[in-house]
Amino acid sequence: MAILEINDLHKHFGGLRALDGVDVEVEEGTIVGLIGPNGSGKTTLINVVSGHYNPDGGRVVFNGDDITGLPPHEIAQRRLVRSFQITRVFPRMTVLENMLVPPRGQLGERLTRVFLTWGEVRRQEEQLVERAMELLSFLEIDHLAQEYAGNLSGGQQKLLELGRALMRDPLLILLDEPVAGVNPTLARKIFDRIVELRNEGKTFLVVEHNMDIVMNFCETIYVLARGRVVAKGEPEEIQTNEQVIDAYLGG
């Protein structure tokens, strides 16, 4: 069953057709890769799906609902979350504090609840801290829980961003270059965790330039070039597809 359906999606910036009739389908419980040369429209597609850009045509259906043009916070509330190419941690907050920002429906955000139902607020906060520490342990950065996020390495910040996304209990996670600038060992560790999450029922659409990672961890791959899908298939098919080779070599 498709959890995400992108149909005939268009996005223009002046005379530039960043997306020119893109069709993508993501099956529930899979890791789908999105690759293509620089400027092919990959991040633009993620920005449109997540509500950061409004499309100029087409539609986006998530979990059976048309979410085309909805603002980012409403899309996130529907349990579709994303990461960014450049990590966006809160540098002067600890790792644990960063993890406690995203959860939905926090009672302590309402002043009246703090005064009138303090016990309930406290119990929820304890549960969120416990969940955050479980995820940090799963990502193998629990030893950094009290460290300022700004002091983490680039790879550790990528893990933290994945952890923050998971704190929203998402159905679908859009990952924009999750291992960019990360050493090969840590990159594979990040994707080992993503596979475990996929096995637990999470779904991923991943933009990534690391072909070794894409070919080893993605079940289906879409290739964009000049704002269009030029190929779709399993890793073995994509590696030998002439249109893909032409797209990367500029043919």
> pLDDT tens across 78-115, in order?
999 999 877 889 999 999 999 999 886 555 555 555 44
pLDDT digit string, tens, across residues 191-243 = 999 999 999 999 999 999 899 999 999 999 999 999 999 999 999 999 888 88
If asked whether residues 84 and 1 sit together in one domain, one would say yes
- CA-CA distance, 108 to 61, in Å (whole number)? 33
Rg (CA), the chain: 19
CATH code of the domain covering residue 208:
3.40.50.300
Task: Inform me whether the pLDDT recorded for 185 exceeds 80.
Answer: yes
Alpha carbon distances (Å) from 119 to 100, 114, 200, 250: 18, 9, 32, 62
Alpha carbon distances (Å) from 33 to 75, 79, 92, 126, 155: 21, 20, 33, 36, 20
If asked whether residues 82 and 24 sit together in one domain, one would say yes
Answer yes or no: is 110 within a domain. yes
If asked whether residues 213 and 136 sit together in one domain, one would say no
If asked whether residues 135 and 106 sit together in one domain, one would say yes
CB 18 within 8 A of CB 41: yes
If asked whether residues 77 and 172 sit together in one domain, one would say yes
If asked whether residues 249 and 174 sit together in one domain, one would say yes
- Of the ranges 132-136, 149-153, 196-200, 239-243, which one carries the lowest mean pLDDT score? 239-243
Task: Inform me whether the pLDDT recorded for 159 exceeds 60.
Answer: yes
Task: Inform me whether the pLDDT recorded for 171 exceeds 80.
Answer: yes
Q: Amino acid identity, residue 214?
A: V
Task: Inform me whether the pLDDT recorded for 245 exceeds 90.
Answer: no
If asked whether residues 81 and 186 sit together in one domain, one would say yes
Identify the domain containing residue 19 by its residue range.
1-45+53-88+167-192+200-251
Answer yes or no: is 160 within a domain. no
Answer yes or no: is 159 within a domain. no
- CA-CA distance, 198 to 172, in Å (whole number)? 10
Question: Higher pLDDT residue, 108 or 41?
Answer: 41
Residue listed under structure tokens 């950065």: 141
How many domains are there within the chain?
2
pLDDT of residue 110: 56
Question: Higher pLDDT residue, 86 or 22?
Answer: 22
Name the pTM for this structure.
0.87
Main-chain phi, psi angles of 151, to 5 degrees = -90, -5
Q: What is the mean pLDDT of the chain?
A: 90
If asked whether residues 131 and 179 sit together in one domain, one would say no
Confidence of residue 251 (pLDDT cuts 50, 70, 90): very low
Alpha carbon distances (Å) from 55 to 35, 50, 65, 128: 20, 11, 16, 36
Task: Inform me whether the pLDDT recorded for 133 exceeds 90.
Answer: yes
